[in-house]
A = this chain, B = another copy of it.
Amino acid sequence: MKIRRSSRLVGMTHYLLQHPQQLVSLTFFSELYDSAKSSVSEDLAIIKQTFEQQGIGSLQTIPGAAGGVKYIPGISLEEANRVIDELCILISKPDRVLPGGYLYMTDILSNPNYVNSVGRIFASIFNKKKVDIVVTVATKGIPLAYAVANYLNIPVVIVRHDNKVTEGSTVSINYVSGSTKRIQTMTLAKRSIEPGANVLIIDDFMKAGGTVAGMQNLLKEFQANVAGIGVLVEALNAEERLVEDYVSLIKLSEVNEKEQLISVEKGKFTEDLLS
């Protein structure tokens, strides 16, 4: 076995994983490793096969002079189910019940392993749609939004509840929180989104959906299109749902404060993941 090819395989695998959704030309790899394009082509065939067999994602080959190869991150249904099952067990621990029937999830959202796995699931679901930006609201949704954006190779825009001087001029709207019925404000920097942008909304938790509905209204002010909505946990017992057409990975059917009981079930994402 020539050491050259094995070293190229390791280097190219690393490069592709670090540059998801980016077209890399054969010429680039051929010059980087001082190797014939035919050898690089053979390497890519091996990487493609391994990525697809092991559920790492797929490798798209674009033929022609302007062509090359593009790594599309993915996750197998098996691994997605394993991650969500594990999260369901974690979330249903009774010591997560907080006063008011809220749920402590900070430790889960603190863990880069869980955050990345959830990001990979959402990226696999939404990478079939044209998405230019991931939008989330401060604070808890931020790590998930970056994890998704990382795999889709697009920027993140953060909607805030306050108004910071470091944002420059901003657009604000008032909205009513679906569950607490309080009037709140959301703010987004004017230069953060271009008109016509396709936006993926990501959040950690949805009760009645007031916050997500507020984001949809705010995005209208920017003439942006909402291409998809993904939430990690959805509370099922909300009286009235203000949002339609979203994907939730975990459904929370009960938080009983008195008896410290939490019931969760897996969301119906299989179809979205495989489609």
Q: What is the interface of chain A, defined by CB distance below 8 A to chain B?
A: 1-3, 5-7, 9-11, 13-14, 17-18, 46-47, 49-51, 53-54, 56, 98-100, 102-107, 110-113, 115-116, 138-140, 142-143, 146-147, 149-150, 153-158, 160, 165-168, 189, 191-192
Closest chain B residue, CB of each to CB of A48: B10
Q: A140 to chain B: closest CB distance in Å?
A: 7
Closest chain B residue, CB of each to CB of A5: B1
- Given the contacts A14-B17, A155-B110, A6 and B7 also touching, CB distance less than 8 Å: no
Instruction: Tell whether, in the assembled complex, residue B110 and residue A168 are in contact, meaning their CB atoms are under 8 Å apart.
Output: no
Partner of A51 from the list B10, B111, B143 (CB cut-off 8 Å) is B10
Quickly give the copy total for this chain: 2
Partner of A168 from the list B14, B98, B147, B165 (CB cut-off 8 Å) is B98
Partner of A112 from the list B51, B115, B146 (CB cut-off 8 Å) is B146
Q: A99 to chain B: closest CB distance in Å?
A: 7
Q: A255 to chain B: closest CB distance in Å?
A: 12
CA distance A49 to B3 in the complex (A): 10
**Which B residues are CB-close (under 8 A) to A49?**
7
Instruction: Tell whether, in the assembled complex, residue B11 and residue A14 are in contact, meaning their CB atoms are under 8 Å apart.
Output: no
- Given the contacts A139-B158, A142-B143, A165 and B100 also touching, CB distance less than 8 Å: yes
Instruction: Tell whether, in the assembled complex, residue B46 and residue A7 are in contact, meaning their CB atoms are under 8 Å apart.
Output: yes
Instruction: Tell whether, in the assembled complex, residue A103 and residue B155 are in contact, meaning their CB atoms are under 8 Å apart.
Output: no
Q: A211 to chain B: closest CB distance in Å?
A: 13
CA distance A245 to B173 in the complex (A): 42
**Which B residues are CB-close (under 8 A) to A106?**
166-167, 189, 192
CA distance A177 to B154 in the complex (A): 34
Q: Which 10 A-B pairs have the closest CB atoms?
A: A110-B155, A10-B50, A112-B150, A13-B13, A7-B50, A142-B142, A138-B139, A6-B46, A9-B9, A10-B13
